[in-house]
């Protein structure tokens, strides 16, 4: 938009009868009283209405010089208000804390949020006061889990903080429609796509019901085989020879982590597992390393169809051993029939437990010994 500047016309002063005396050296010549004062050297006379500064204007004259700090300040206040609102809606009993008699704060106290998130009380207080402080992805992830944020609230938290969510909750560009179609076509063979960090990026319906009643019910940020095998009771009950499986997975994770030591998502995963699982701490401190892909036989005790024996195969989707398609092909006829039945239950309406009841089949099976077969 161009700003019109109105020009003013000054009546020229009458010429003096005699020329003005020459100015002495170093002294500027006098200007007639009715003539406009000259502008200082190197600076133009300011117009009546100043035009909008152009892109080449000095930083101090450009509106964006103050717009960016102002925008950051607004985001900090929005973040502070959002954290307070989420904190105040959680009763202490929901996170295993006693209410006490003198609690006047609705929901959780600031120090309780800080304690549950493993951050300093002063630091978290500054965050709710909209102080200008840096927030790491690890801290944001801890706050999101402490405040029980859903997927939309978690995305909002990271957006307000100006950070990128490193968890698999966000859509992965590796998962193309063709790969999703392939997962569907593999039914009733359970199959999923994982990365080297064990994030479950996509899966078919049979896989969703193989190790637990419904993987869809697990929050996206928790759909990680390491987190599930070390912290999820239902997932752990389904794995035959659980101890060997956990030790092998920890060793493979350490081997893969050598190329990702500085990445926040990897550090977040290890920190969370170390905090939440004593078994993981024990396995991690052994510094065992396993690399490469291995096809091996596994057995799962499914809650709906019983014991299934499968061959685990990794199909790598990239040359750098990043994302891979994991398939579980049945090794015998009985396992094949049980996987077909599980797929039928999962395909009916997404509620295999109700379908099992309606068909008169047992809903749960009693877990057998962990030493049924190799992993």
pLDDT tens digits for 64-90?
444 446 778 888 999 999 999 999 999
What gap in Å lies between CA 226 and CA 229, rounded to an integer?
A: 5
pLDDT, tens digit (0-9, with 9 covering 90-100), for 230-253: 999 999 999 999 999 999 999 999
**Nearest to residue 46, comparing CAs of 37, 35, 55, 33?**
37
Residue 127: pLDDT above 90?
yes
**pLDDT higher for 38 or 150?**
150
- Predicted confidence at residue 316, as pLDDT, reads 87
pLDDT value, residue 232? 97
pLDDT band (50, 70, 90) for residue 11: very low
**Could you give the CA distance from residue 258 to residue 255 in angstroms, rounded to a whole number?**
6
Burial per residue of 189-225, b for 16 or more beta-carbon CB atoms within 10 angstroms, e otherwise: bbbbbbbbbbbbbbbbbbbbbbbbbebeebebbbbbb
Average pLDDT over every residue of 123-136: 91
Q: Please give the share of the chain, as a percent, with pLDDT higher than 90.
A: 46
Ranking 121-130, 139-148, 151-160, 217-226 by mean pLDDT, the lowest is 151-160
Cα dihedral sign, 158-159-165-170: positive
- Taking 70 as the threshold, does the pLDDT of residue 297 lie above it? yes
Q: What is the Cα–Cα distance from 37 to 44, expressed in whole angstroms?
A: 12
What average pLDDT does the chain have? 78
Q: How many CA atoms lie within 13 A of 241 on its CB side?
A: 14
Q: Is the pLDDT of residue 206 over 90?
A: yes
CA–CA distance, 48 with 7 (Å, rounded to integer): 8
* Joined tokens for residue 241: 């020879």
Query: Is a pLDDT exceeding 50 seen at residue 366?
Result: no
304's tokens: 């709906």
pLDDT per residue over 299-335, tens digit each? 999 999 999 999 999 998 876 657 899 999 999 999 9
Please report the pLDDT score of residue 304 as a whole number.
94
Of the ranges 217-226, 332-341, 349-358, which is most confident?
Answer: 332-341
Inform me whether the pLDDT recorded for 41 exceeds 80. Answer: no
Handedness of CA 220, 222, 225, 228 (dihedral sign): negative
Q: Which helix (H) or strand (E) holds 153?
A: helix 151-160
Task: Record the pTM.
Answer: 0.60
Give dist(CA 146, CA 119) in Å, integer.
11
Other C-beta atoms within 10 Å of 342: how many?
26
Supply the pLDDT for residue 4.
40
Judge whether residue 51 has pLDDT over 60. no
Residue 123: DSSP 8-state: H
pLDDT of residue 188: 97
The pLDDT value recorded for residue 58 is 42
At 321 the pLDDT is: 57
Separation in Å, CA 267 to CA 116, 161, 166, 189, 194: 18, 19, 10, 33, 18
Lowest-confidence range among 22-31, 225-234, 268-277?
22-31
């Amino acid at each position: 938009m161009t700003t019109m500047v109105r020009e003013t016309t000054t009546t020229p002063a009458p010429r003096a009868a005699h020329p003005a005396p020459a100015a002495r050296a170093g002294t500027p010549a006098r200007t007639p009283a009715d003539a406009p004062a000259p502008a200082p050297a190197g600076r133009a006379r300011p117009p009546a209405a100043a035009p909008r500064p152009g892109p080449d204007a000095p930083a101090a004259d450009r509106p964006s010089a103050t717009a960016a700090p102002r925008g950051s300040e607004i985001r900090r206040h929005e973040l502070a208000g959002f954290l307070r609102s989420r904190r105040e809606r959680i009763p202490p009993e929901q996170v295993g804390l006693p209410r006490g008699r003198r609690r006047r704060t609705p929901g959780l106290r600031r120090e309780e949020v800080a304690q549950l998130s493993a951050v300093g009380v002063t630091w978290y207080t500054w965050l709710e006061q909209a102080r200008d402080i840096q927030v790491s992805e690890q801290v944001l992830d801890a706050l999101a889990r402490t405040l029980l944020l859903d997927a939309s609230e978690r995305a909002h938290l990271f957006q307000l903080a100006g950070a990128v969510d490193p968890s698999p909750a966000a859509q992965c560009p590796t998962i193309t429609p063709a790969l999703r179609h392939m997962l569907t076509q593999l039914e009733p063979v359970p199959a999923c796509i994982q990365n080297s960090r064990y994030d479950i990026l996509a899966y078919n319906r049979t896989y969703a019901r193989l190790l637990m009643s419904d993987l869809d019910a697990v929050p996206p940020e928790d759909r990680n085989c390491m987190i599930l095998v070390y912290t999820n009771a239902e997932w752990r009950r389904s794995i035959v020879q659980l101890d060997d499986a956990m030790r092998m997975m920890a060793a493979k994770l350490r081997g893969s982590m050598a190329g990702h030591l500085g990445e926040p998502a990897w550090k977040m995963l290890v920190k969370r597992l170390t905090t939440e699982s004593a078994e993981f701490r024990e396995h991690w401190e052994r510094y065992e390393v396993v690399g490469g892909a291995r096809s091996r036989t596994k057995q799962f005790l499914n809650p709906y169809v019983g014991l299934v024996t499968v061959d685990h195969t990794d199909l790598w989707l990239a040359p750098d051993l990043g994302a891979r398609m994991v398939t579980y092909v049945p090794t015998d006829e009985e396992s094949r029939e049980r996987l077909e039945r599980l797929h039928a239950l999962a395909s009916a309406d997404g509620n295999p437990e109700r379908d099992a009841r309606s068909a008169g089949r047992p809903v749960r099976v009693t877990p057998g010994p962990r030493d049924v077969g190799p992993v």
